Amino acid sequence: MVVTILGLLAALGISRMHFFTLPPEGMLQKTLLYAKEEARKNLAPFRVVTTPEGEVALQGRVNREWQGQKLPWKSARGWALHQKACYAYPDGTFSPALFTRGTGKACRYHVTVTGNVVVE
């Protein structure tokens, strides 16, 4: 009897649960913050680039070469970067960059020197 009641309560709770997903600018901001922390931790510049598949990826400078770094989350597809890369420096600054997402009338995301994402 107790198991049945707990099962019903669990079923009702799960059906009303809403799983939150970040908007695109939130995921980009999260990636930039992660790049900034990695740059500070390693005292070396990191850069955020887009792959040919349209995913946002992180690269770190190791022995004068850029090597891919794994992000702790899955990146969405459909991103484009209008510069070669967006660099994160150990002092917490970024190189300004413009990301777009989507086709046609694409959303534009500006990355400022302080690492903020501004949606146009």
Q: Is residue 79 within a helix (H) or strand (E), and if so which, with residue range?
A: strand 79-81
Amino acid at 103: T
pLDDT tens digits along 78-101? 999 999 999 999 999 999 999 998
User: Taking a C-beta distance cutoff of 8 angstroms, is the pair 96, 110 a contact?
Assistant: yes
User: Which pTM was predicted?
Assistant: 0.78
CATH fold, domain 22-119, is minor pseudopilin epsh fold (3.55.40)
Residue 5 has pLDDT above 70, yes or no: yes
